[in-house]
A and B are shown apart, each in its own frame.
Chain A
Amino acid sequence: MTFAFRKLAGMVFTLVIASFVIFAAMYAAPGDPVTFLIGNPENLTPERIASVRAQYHLDEPMLVQYWHWASGVLTGDFGQSFQYHQPVSALLAARVPITLSLVAYAAVVLTVVGIGLGIVAAVRRGKAADTAIVGVTTLAASIPSFVLGIAFVALFAVELRWFPVAGAGSAGLDRVYALTLPALTLAITALAIVSRVTRQSMIEQFSSEHVEAARASGLRERYIVRDHVLRGAWGPIITMVALVIASMIAGTVAVETVFGISGVGSLLVDAINTHDFPVVQAVLLFMVVAYMIVTTIVDLLLPVLDPRIRRRTVSA
């Protein structure tokens, strides 16, 4: 009980600090939101500027502005987007599911392929397959996701026309189909780290005493890999997969832009460029919360999978 309470208090504290840091950073960033709010330069008269500043509380000290925002959030009101003139919560509600489906899709690909490749590499360590997997995944990791995305669009969407070039599709299977290229793009660049951790963690297990013992008792190699090596190796693998997924949530920006997907990533870029404070604030907080949730799930999951671990946490 105290564990859960301390965990929760820690999260709230992190959120408060994060929201303040984000707010301060936006406040300090160059550029004046009033220019965007008024739009037409012929209307940028001193009177109009003053009235817009007052309307959006931009003429008040930073701490007061932060309080305006924070007190709204406490009552569930994330404010109105400067650019879209809609409640920020409505904007996020339309875009979060798209980004989450993209990340979930990429996570499945990453987990299955990344761990699979890692296992093959570990079992065939030192052989040609191992060298090939390590080499190719390392090469893939060195390609920036937006470059890979552009290449995928050019080849699979424009040239071969297997996939749509832009958009996230409508619901259901159509969405899965439309998100295939973006999900692959996200997953491929992260394959190296997951397959490498899987490989390393398994190789350590191969030389451990309990595996030696199992081998000495004459168990078939495939059972040794499944029941002894992998079982002991799960901890680092899951931790790494979770960290990669958590960072993906914040890393969809480039991929969403290349594939014309209206998710939170493209919303964030757009909002930063137009000084849309309330949207920037909400999107970044969403990313912080998503990160915390993923790492917390891992904290809770690890002891279940590996009883040797007791409340050893991965989150900061």
Chain B
Amino acid sequence: MKKQHHPITATIGVLAASAFVLAGCSSGSKGDDGDAALDVPFGATTPAASGPLETVTWMLGGEPTTLDADIDATTADDTVLANVCDRLMQVQPDLTLGHGLASDAEWTDDTHLVFTIRQGALFHDGSPVSTADVVWSMQRHSVEGAAESDEYRNVVSIEQTGADQITVTTSQPDAILLQAMAGDGGIVWNPRVIEAEGEDFGSPGSASACSGPYQVTSWEAGSQLTITRFPDYWNSDVEPLADEVVFRWADETAIANSVTTGEAQGSFLENAGAARSFIGSADVSVYQGPSTNAWVLETTDRGALTDERIRQALSLALDRTGVAAAAFGGLAQPWKTPVGSGAWGYEVDTFEQAYDALEGAPAKPSDADLAAAEDLIAEAGAPSAPIVVASNGSSTHNVIANALVAAAQSIGLEAEITVIPQVQYGDFYSDPELRGQADLWPDEYYISKNDPLGFYKNGASDASVNFGVFSDPEYDALVDKGYAATDDVERAEITTELQKRWVEHAVWIPVVATPSTLIMSNAVTGVPSSAAFIYYPWAVDLGSAKG
């Protein structure tokens, strides 16, 4: 997974909330503020576009930091790069895996993955995309310290084995390597441009080194970034309707205001709750779609939570519906697992059925759930010290921390909240001393590949985000088996078994899934509403709503 950068949410949280109230009473475009079921379409895409557009303004949550994905890639960077850079494979709007610059990819045995590279594609500088360029790019991604190098950790060698053929040799089976080639680790770079730009590559003003359907034509640092249709795009099936997309960036409130006034046509929101004020609007629509994002209560080995019965009891008693309503205005889903449905990039039926069968994480605890939780506590014995849950003071963290305290109290446990400064909150992942101050901490977690195995590997006893509450040799063996299963059906079975074990043992306590959330002017349409916008060239589907 990649952690999002959390820009200024804490300082501005109060401010944004008050802005909402003000904007709400003044704009008058809101529908009812009652809590009737929210009529928000949920799916992979928005209605297809029917007409061309000269220019579209799209809001980002922050300024892109660099367009060199091997250095770093924030959500804003990825939202732009998805349209500019082709990858070997391509995530589709429904989050399944399609082909990109590789027309074919096949595991010939457990440790050899063979790619067939399309011939005839052109980089934005007009030079052809050669098989050797692809090898060069993969090697650049795999260099120690490069942002995507972890995707290549099992890769031993990358060699050109034919005019249009590349063979990747791995040290052990790695079933999700192919998924990774649809992400930033699969971008095909133009080596000539990168070598010519040197240190400056990726910063404002540096030349494009990609072959995607759009190219960056200007980046005025601090103000805006423009991408323009690339006329010589190799895939003639792709016919973008929008000639250019202008990206601007602002905080959540300013994004909402820009879309309200029509200064911008849309935005993929980082916080689903921010779309609440557009529900019922006559000019702007809200769309949601699958993503892998989920809010979880991560657990530490500080004290009582090392006993899985306490974790199970807390999970049974947690009011997830309440959290979804209070923290996300109903735009999140109570969720039974620590990873959203966007992870189901294959064998969707298998994952759906397995999800439905899961128990132990009710949306709203029933009397039976509470009784079961109390039995678990009785069996385990109430912990001597109160359970401590952390918050960084943001409204979402506070709501979830409070929900956990309420859950604990409802089953006779003592619990309290400790506030950790926002700038320090991320250190829970790296600092054992900080973990010593709390039993649980809420956070939003997501994975960058659409395969739940990429999440459940974190339950292995040696995983870097397993903080000592769970260790099971059988689970570890299943993870290895999953990674060896290049066959989707087999891997889905193993992964659902891992999921079952994770939820049964309540390794982390799942809270809500936060779907990908899009606000868009009714004048434009077509883009995916799933989390595919991170890697899929979503702007090619964007167009006018009227023909």
* Cβ distance B70 to chain A, nearest Cβ, rounded Å: 10
Instruction: Given A85-B72, A158-B257, verify A94-B222 contact (CB < 8 Å).
Output: yes
Enumerate chain A residues within 8 angstroms of B18, measured Cβ to Cβ. Answer: 147, 150
B8 at the A/B interface (Cβ < 8 Å)?
yes
Q: Are A270 and B7 neighbours in the complex by a CB distance under 8 Å?
A: yes
Instruction: Given A31-B426, A44-B430, A158-B26, verify A36-B5 contact (CB < 8 Å).
Output: yes
The contact string, 1 if C-beta is below 8 Å from chain A, for chain B 120-160, is 00000000000000000000000001010010000000000
Set B2, B145, B257: member contacting A165, Cβ < 8 A: B257
The answer for the CA separation of A257 and B332 in the assembled complex, in Å, is 27
A49 at the A/B interface (Cβ < 8 Å)?
yes
Enumerate chain A residues within 8 angstroms of B427, measured Cβ to Cβ. Answer: 31-32, 35
Enumerate chain B residues within 8 angstroms of A258, measured Cβ to Cβ. Answer: 15, 19, 253-254
Enumerate chain A residues within 8 angstroms of B145, measured Cβ to Cβ. Answer: 51, 55
Enumerate chain B residues within 8 angstroms of A84, measured Cβ to Cβ. Answer: 65-66, 203
Enumerate chain A residues within 8 angstroms of B222, measured Cβ to Cβ. Answer: 94-95, 98, 168, 262-263
A289 at the A/B interface (Cβ < 8 Å)?
no
* Cβ distance A109 to chain B, nearest Cβ, rounded Å: 22
The contact string, 1 if C-beta is below 8 Å from chain B, for chain A 141-166, is 00000110011011101110100111
From B185-193, B237-245, B283-291, B458-466, give the one contacting chain A: B458-466
Instruction: Given A85-B72, A165-B261, A273-B422, verify A41-B429 contact (CB < 8 Å).
Output: yes
The answer for the CA separation of A83 and B223 in the assembled complex, in Å, is 17
A236 at the A/B interface (Cβ < 8 Å)?
no
Q: Are B5 and A41 neighbours in the complex by a CB distance under 8 Å?
A: no
Give how many A residues have a beta carbon under 8 Å from the other chain's beta carbons.
58
Set A150, A166, A168, A273: member contacting B7, Cβ < 8 A: A273
Enumerate chain B residues within 8 angstroms of A155, measured Cβ to Cβ. Answer: 26
Enumerate chain A residues within 8 angstroms of B62, measured Cβ to Cβ. Answer: 270
Q: Are A42 and B463 neighbours in the complex by a CB distance under 8 Å?
A: yes
Give how many B residues have a beta carbon under 8 Å from the other chain's beta carbons.
61
The contact string, 1 if C-beta is below 8 Å from chain A, for chain B 56-73, is 000000110110100110
The contact string, 1 if C-beta is below 8 Å from chain A, for chain B 330-363, is 0000000000000000000000000000000000
Q: Are A166 and B465 neighbours in the complex by a CB distance under 8 Å?
A: no
Instruction: Given A94-B222, A158-B26, verify A44-B261 contact (CB < 8 Å).
Output: no
A274 at the A/B interface (Cβ < 8 Å)?
yes
Tell me the chain B residues, 426-480 only, with Cβ under 8 Å from chain A. Answer: 426-427, 429-431, 458, 463-465
Enumerate chain A residues within 8 angstroms of B2, measured Cβ to Cβ. Answer: 39-40
Enumerate chain B residues within 8 angstroms of A166, measured Cβ to Cβ. Answer: 248, 250, 254-255, 257-258, 263
* Cβ distance A98 to chain B, nearest Cβ, rounded Å: 6
* Cβ distance B44 to chain A, nearest Cβ, rounded Å: 26
Set B23, B66, B68, B426: member contacting A35, Cβ < 8 A: B426
Q: Are A42 and B465 neighbours in the complex by a CB distance under 8 Å?
A: yes
Instruction: Given A49-B430, A272-B423, A273-B422, verify A39-B3 contact (CB < 8 Å).
Output: yes
The contact string, 1 if C-beta is below 8 Å from chain B, for chain A 70-85, is 0000000000000111
Closest-by-CB residue of A relative to B6 is A273
Q: Are A36 and B426 neighbours in the complex by a CB distance under 8 Å?
A: yes
Closest-by-CB residue of B relative to A263 is B222
> Once A and B bind, how many residue pairs between them come within 8 Å at the CB atom?
177
Tell me the chain A residues, 247-302 only, with Cβ under 8 Å from chain B. Answer: 254, 257-260, 262-263, 266, 269-270, 272-275
Instruction: Given A86-B203, A159-B27, A274-B5, verify A39-B263 contact (CB < 8 Å).
Output: no
A170 at the A/B interface (Cβ < 8 Å)?
yes
B11 at the A/B interface (Cβ < 8 Å)?
yes
B251 at the A/B interface (Cβ < 8 Å)?
yes
B260 at the A/B interface (Cβ < 8 Å)?
yes
Enumerate chain B residues within 8 angstroms of A98, measured Cβ to Cβ. Answer: 222-223
The answer for the CA separation of A29 and B2 in the assembled complex, in Å, is 25
Instruction: Given A30-B421, A32-B431, A41-B464, verify A259-B254 contact (CB < 8 Å).
Output: yes
Set B63, B223, B260: member contacting A158, Cβ < 8 A: B260
A208 at the A/B interface (Cβ < 8 Å)?
no
**When A and B form their complex, which 4 residue pairs have the shortest distance between CB atoms, in order from nearest?**
A260-B250, A94-B221, A260-B254, A41-B429
Q: 27 A-B Cβ contacts within 8 A? A: A32-B426, A36-B5, A40-B1, A41-B426, A42-B464, A44-B465, A84-B65, A90-B204, A150-B15, A150-B19, A151-B22, A154-B19, A158-B23, A158-B27, A158-B260, A161-B261, A165-B254, A165-B260, A166-B254, A170-B223, A257-B11, A259-B254, A260-B258, A262-B63, A262-B249, A273-B7, A273-B8
Given contacts A32-B424, A159-B26, 8 further A-B contacts (CB under 8 A): A31-B426, A42-B463, A154-B23, A158-B27, A165-B254, A166-B248, A166-B255, A260-B254
The residues of A with any CB-CB pair to B shorter than 8 Å are 29-32, 34-36, 38-45, 49, 51, 55, 83-86, 90-91, 94-95, 98, 146-147, 150-151, 153-155, 157-159, 161, 164-168, 170, 254, 257-260, 262-263, 266, 269-270, 272-275
